Structure 1
């Protein structure tokens, strides 16, 4: 899925994520966690990666394989160096997205792309029988 680099795209990404979660049989709690993680990744892509430049896009993709759901959120920005983990309380207006993503998923990684240029944030959720049995 491709979305314009605008804040409204965050809501479209959440709806897309809900459908992906439904297809994968995730329970309500995991659907909510994945939705919030994708929300944060798309907001970061729009605001920090693409800097809301109208000509740039945010790309979403998913794959279910080997007991894992992988969701990739890609931007067309210049990239960044992730901050080091810290225990300090962050009271700034932003800067907690990656921390939230880390807590909401079973893991994530940041991949710098050269063709096409940009950055991917790859979210991983382990699919288990317990997760798919949740209401």
Structure 2
């Protein structure tokens, strides 16, 4: 993770701070308004998944955010302290339920992402990849 990493409690209220942090990261990378919005929305979805699904909204557990820039890319990492999950396959039809579209949205908003189990500390990292036009 980047040198400006932060940790937040797993509370829905923390998502406002995630958005502020993400906007600062996008601005530090010189992104325009449209790309900043894209980064912010993808980051919000990943952080909401970490809070609600990864950590079960347990405020004793932490969500870790970090970023790195290099080789024409911005990498934003969202880590939780959960047990991990099996990435679902594509859902048939349209999902109109209250949740379950986070990874789909992340896939459309980013230039790629990966989900990686972590041993120390235990949890899962989601790395969002954004190509930067320099």
TM tier, shorter chain?
over 0.9
Question: Aligned-pair distance for 1:76?
Answer: 0.1
1:3-53 deviation line (CA, Å, top 9, x unaligned): 010001111001000000001000100000100000000000000000011
Task: Give the 5 Å matches for 1:10-21.
Answer: 10-21=15-26
Show the counterpart of 1:42.
47
Gaps of 5+ in 2: 1-5
- Would you say 1:5 and 2:10 are equivalent positions? yes
Show the counterpart of 1:109.
114
Show the counterpart of 1:33.
38
Runs of 4+ in 1 over 6 A off after TM superposition: none
Q: Secondary structure of the equivalent of 1:10? A: helix
Q: 2:75 aligns with which of 47, 50, 70?
A: 70
Show the counterpart of 1:124.
129
Q: 1:82 aligns with which of 80, 87, 91?
A: 87
- Structure 2 length-normalised TM: 0.94
Q: Secondary structure of the equivalent of 1:108? A: strand
Measure the CA separation in 2 of the matches of 1:29 and 1:88: 29
Measure the CA separation in 2 of the matches of 1:123 and 1:24: 15
Gaps of 5+ in 1: 130-135
For the aligned residues, what is the CA RMSD? 0.8
